[in-house]
Amino acid sequence: MIDMSVEIAGVRFKNPVLTASGTFASGREYSEFFDLSRLGGVVVKGVSARPWEGNPPPRVAEVYGGMLNSVGLQNGGAERFLRDDLPFLRKFDTRVVVNICGHTIEEYAEVTKQLQNSDIDMLELNISCPNVSEGGMAFGTDPSMTARVVEAVAKAADKPLIVKLSPNVTDITEIARAAAGAGASALSLINTLLGMAIDAKTRRPVLANGYGGLSGPAVKPVALRMVHQTARAIDLPIIGMGGIMTGLDAAEFLLAGARAVAVGTAGFNNPTAAADVISGLENYMEESGFKTIPEIKMIYN
């Protein structure tokens, strides 16, 4: 018998496959295609204290091996999430992780408070948002700004806190260490890589916003490297993501040192992608003789 379950910060997941924030909304749309109870967990779309309008369209662009998005974290706010989305998601036997975002440390703390005493399993803190009080620089690109926002959220949180790291940094372990020191119970990585697409014919950026976040198979080598570096440097469980399309991709992240994985962009190509990754990973374990997830380890000579 294969046991695919994993534990992250005291929370048990039936398998190590989650959905990546912002690619799966709150699960309702995808529940038409497979039973959400198959998932280890659903990480919901970024939720802020108040509704966010998001960026003007076009918001998505296809690029080689992936896509760019500049959705701008459009969402209806925490109140609406708790009222309209959470009850639906709770009908399924899966872990619920709520991804939170803010423009200031106060906004991050506020949304964390709004989620206190709610029926969720974990929080995931997206620190890739621009800090409006610091000229729009992303929180997650600076260790001291990271420490401050993580500390504020950890203080207000009544659930274990995952900090989601931005790859748009020189040394990811430095940010990871700052998050760990400020109260993170787990880390997730990577968020999207900042990119751009230009239409040579119209001589204009494809996205109305100009820049957008790159995701999909194109980012996998970068994501694997960053998971590997972080796993060696910091003693916290890691949820790895970035371009996972198959069970083998997921296995690569576990080998790199992640305890769990998340599937995002793949779902736009195939609505059952997350479920297919679970079956694919199970096949990999069977073929390779692994009985549990922690046995999946890299060989170094």
Partner 1 sequence: MESIVGLVITIQLQCDVVSNTEIALDIFDMTLDAPEIARVAHAGQFLHIFNDSPDMLLPRPISICAIDAESGRLRVVFRAKGAGTRLISRKTRLRALGPLGNGYDTSSMSKKILIVGGGLGVPPLLELSRRVAEPQVFLGFRDEASMILQNDFTEAETATDDGSFGFCGNAVDLARRKARDFDLIVACGPKPLLRAVAGFADEKGVPALVSVEERMACGIGACVGCVIKTKSGYRKVCVDGPVFRADEVVWDD
Ligand X SMILES: Cc1cc2nc3c(=O)[nH]c(=O)nc-3n(C[C@H](O)[C@H](O)[C@H](O)COP(=O)(O)O)c2cc1C
Kindly tell me which residue out of 16, 22, 102, 140 binds ligand X, with binding defined by CB under 6 A: 22
Give strand pairing partners of 138. Answer: 130
Kindly tell me which residue out of 9, 38, 50, 60 binds partner 1, with binding defined by CB under 8 A: 60
Number of residues that bind partner 1 (CB under 8 A): 34
Nearest to 20 by CA among 206, 277, 228: 277
Segment contacting partner 1 by CB under 8 A, of 154-162, 230-238, 246-254, 263-271: 263-271
Site for ligand X in 144-183 (CB under 6 A): 164
Site for partner 1 in 145-184 (CB under 8 A): none
Kindly tell me which residue out of 17, 18, 73, 89 binds ligand X, with binding defined by CB under 6 A: 73
- Partner from partner 1, ligand X, none binding residue 106, C-beta < 5-8 Å depending on class: none
54: left (phi over 0), alpha (psi -120 to 50) or beta: left
Nearest to 234 by CA among 288, 162, 186, 291: 186
Q: Does the annotation mark 129 as catalytic? A: yes
Q: Which is nearer to ligand X, 11 or 193 (CB)?
A: 193
Regarding 78 and contact with ligand X (CB under 6 A), the answer is: no
Regarding 32 and contact with partner 1 (CB under 8 A), the answer is: yes
Regarding 140 and contact with partner 1 (CB under 8 A), the answer is: no
DSSP output for the chain: --B--EEETTEEESSSEEEPTTSSTTSTGGGGTS-GGGSSEEEEEEE-SS-B--PPSP-EEEETTEEEE-----B--HHHIIIIIHHHHTTSSSEEEEEE--SSHHHHHHHHHHTTTSS-SEEEEETTSEEGGGTTEEGGGSHHHHHHHHHHHHHH-SS-EEEEPPS-SS-HHHHHHHHHHTT-SEEEE--PEEEE-EETTTTEESSTTSEEEEESGGGHHHHHHHHHHHHHH--S-EEEESS--SHHHHHHHHHHT-SEEEE-THHHH-TTHHHHHHHHHHHHHHHHT--BGGG------
Q: Least distance from C-beta 206 to partner 1, angstroms?
A: 8
Site map for partner 1, 177-216, x if CB under 8 A? ---------------------------------------x
Which of the residues 6, 61, 129, 169 is marked catalytic? 129
Regarding 33 and contact with partner 1 (CB under 8 A), the answer is: yes
Nearest to 78 by CA among 106, 56, 110: 110
- Partner from ligand X, partner 1, none binding residue 243, C-beta < 5-8 Å depending on class: ligand X
Kindly tell me which residue out of 133, 269, 288, 292 binds partner 1, with binding defined by CB under 8 A: 269
Kindly tell me which residue out of 27, 216, 237, 247 binds ligand X, with binding defined by CB under 6 A: 216
What is the contact surface with partner 1 in residues (CB under 8 A)?
Answer: 22-25, 29-30, 32-33, 45, 53-54, 56-62, 64-67, 69, 71, 74, 216-217, 265, 267-272
Active-site annotation, residues: 129
What is the contact surface with ligand X in residues (CB under 6 A)?
Answer: 20-23, 45-46, 69, 71, 73, 99, 126, 164, 191-192, 215-216, 219, 241-244, 263-266
